[in-house]
Amino acid sequence: MRRLYRYVGPKTIRQRVAGAPVDILIESAADFTSWVVKTSQQPNPSGLVAVTFVVDEQGRMLVADRHLEHIACSGGQPVLSAGEMFFASVSPSWEVVEVSNQSTGFCPEPESWPVVASALDRAGFKHPGQFTLAVTFRRCRACGERNVVKDEWFVCGVCGEDLPADWNFGEDD
């Protein structure tokens, strides 16, 4: 299943990042190395480089500094997936050691993994073969709030109403 996810986050964030440049299209480890150097990315205390990523409508992976919003990384466009990745330098290349679909702006389903894997495979990155953190998102039909479902607890954290079992962004947004 290839679902196209449109932005469902706050309008103020969309407006704030309007026109922000997309950092870089990653089609190889060399592209990633170039971006790391160009943007002076620093590894975290674990030695990993953390990024915000999206997979665009064409199945290409775009990355940005982890502190940038996914909507800016996507250039304001819908995506096939979005989340965070952590890269380890494994001489002479890079390896993805952690990857999630954690994006409250697009709320992609865990089922979006195949498009992420395909983009990573085309670029030649070794990866874990699945989301290392798979986040389940639901929109509350009562109050409209975006929710992260934890421990299969399908209850809105804002109003206490039951959340739907199936992904429901885009129904009435």
CA–CA dist 140, 143 (Å, integer) = 6
Instruction: Say if residue 107 is in the same domain as residue 26.
Output: yes
pTM metric for this prediction:
0.93
Mean pLDDT of the region 37-50: 92
Instruction: Say if residue 53 is in the same domain as residue 93.
Output: yes
Is 130 a domain residue? Answer: no
Helix (H, G, I), strand (E, B) or coil at 97: strand
User: Of 22-26, 71-75, 116-120, which gets the smallest average pLDDT?
Assistant: 22-26
Instruction: Say if residue 34 is in the same domain as residue 118.
Output: yes
CA–CA dist 58, 154 (Å, integer) = 33
pLDDT in tens, 11-37: 998 888 776 666 689 999 999 999 999
Say whether pLDDT at 59 is over 80: yes
Range of the domain at 154: 136-173
Alpha carbon dihedral 72, 73, 77, 82, in 10-degree steps, equals -120
Instruction: Say if residue 57 is in the same domain as residue 140.
Output: no
Say whether pLDDT at 84 is over 90: yes
